[in-house]
Amino acid sequence: MDEDERARLAEFVGSRTPALMRVAYLLTGDRNAAEDLFQSALARTIPKWGTIRHADPEGYLRVVMYREQISWWRRLRRWREIPLKPADEPVGGDPSGGSDVRLAMRAALRHLPPTQRAVVVLRYYEDLPEARVAELLGCSVGTVRSRTHRAVQRLRDLLPDVDRLEVRR
pLDDT digits (tens, 9 = 90+) for 16-26: 999 999 999 98
Percent of the chain with pLDDT over 70: 79
Mean pLDDT of 103-116: 87
CATH of 98-161, one of 3.90.79.10, 1.10.10.60, 3.30.1180.20, 1.10.10.10: 1.10.10.10
Please choose, from the candidates 13, 14, 144, the residue with its C-alpha nearest in 3D space to the C-alpha of residue 66.
144
- CA 121 vs. chain centroid, Å, equals 6
Spans of all domains in the chain? 1-81, 98-161
DSSP letter (8 states) at residue 166: -
Q: Is the pLDDT of residue 165 over 80?
A: no
Contact 63, 122 (CB under 8 A): no
Q: Does 101 score more than 80 pLDDT?
A: no
pLDDT single digits (tens) 114-157: 889 999 999 988 889 999 999 988 999 999 999 999 999 998 88
